[in-house]
Amino acid sequence: MRKMPVFGLLLVILLLVILEYYTYTALRFLLRTSRPSFRTFFTTIYVAVSIIIILMFLFFPYLRTIEINKALKNFLFGFSFGFIIAKVLISLVLILDDLRRLFFYMISFLPNGEISPEKIEKGMTRSQFLNTIALLLGGGFFMTLLYGMSNRYNYKVKKIKLKFDNLPESFRGLKAVHISDIHSGSFNNIKAVKRGVDMVNSLNADVVFFYRRFSE
């Protein structure tokens, strides 16, 4: 098994530290008006989950060799992936905010340098506004991913009639079924998958198209 170079490992750790710093900064802003007991509880849960995911990420090459339930493995991978990407999105927004403040700070040293007012409206500063945007962006992505993971067997049939003036006569009345983004590699409920297959078969289509990723 190939080992990660020391420089690569240090770089990964540095990136994780940066993500944690900015994400925790955003969470402190979110919890600033909540009760101390709730802040402590929420922070404890967040730190515990973050540590577990970081350890899983660092030891991923070793975890791949361990036999584990497929449903649990898919959930852990999806949850960890979403958690990290949410932190990346939050961090990117806050890094832009830091760069903005650094830019204005440097301008203040120039002759006649002026710093624009921080207030936007109703007392909210630009930094507070960007914190809110960062949390909405990262949290929205994470919740959307969790929703998709919990509704992957919620198959739906959308019937659409297509009309073309130049459609060849031999294609008129043709019924086509288009199946998109199956990602069957993440499916572990055979009965639910069979229900989806039965839905396709019940449509009595003349042709079936599979679009994009099928077995990943």
pLDDT digits (tens, 9 = 90+) for 167-194: 788 888 888 888 876 655 556 677 777 7
Last-in-domain residue among 118, 150, 182: 150
Closest CA to 89 of 77, 81, 101, 99: 81
Number of independent structural domains in the chain: 2
Q: What is the mean pLDDT of the chain?
A: 80
Question: Domain range for residue 100?
Answer: 6-150
Kindly provide the b/e burial profile for residues 187-213, where b requires at least 16 CB atoms within 10 angstroms of the residue's own CB. Answer: beeeeebeebeeeeeeeeeeeeeeeee
Please check whether residues 132 and 204 belong to one and the same domain: no
pLDDT digits (tens, 9 = 90+) for 130-163: 888 999 999 999 988 888 777 777 778 888 888 8
How much is the pLDDT for 134?
92
Tokens found for residue 57: 């990420």
Structure confidence at residue 137 (pLDDT): 92
In a domain, 121, yes or no: yes
Q: How confident is the model at residue 120 (pLDDT cuts 50, 70, 90)?
A: very low
Domain final position from 150, 168, 183: 150
For the full predicted model, state whether its pTM sits above 0.95. no
Same domain? For 174 and 99 the reply is: no
Q: Which two tokens stand for residue 110?
A: 């120039």
- Tell whether 174 and 211 lie within a shared domain: yes
Using one digit for the tens of pLDDT, what is the confidence trace for 69-105? 777 777 788 888 889 999 999 999 999 988 988 888 7
Whether 131 and 166 map to the same domain: the answer is no
| 115 and 157 both lie in a single domain | no
Picking from 150, 173, 204, the residue at the C-terminal end of a domain is: 150
Residue 12 sits in the same domain as residue 57: yes
Q: Are residues 141 and 190 in the same domain?
A: no
For the record, the structure tokens of 176 come out as 């086509």
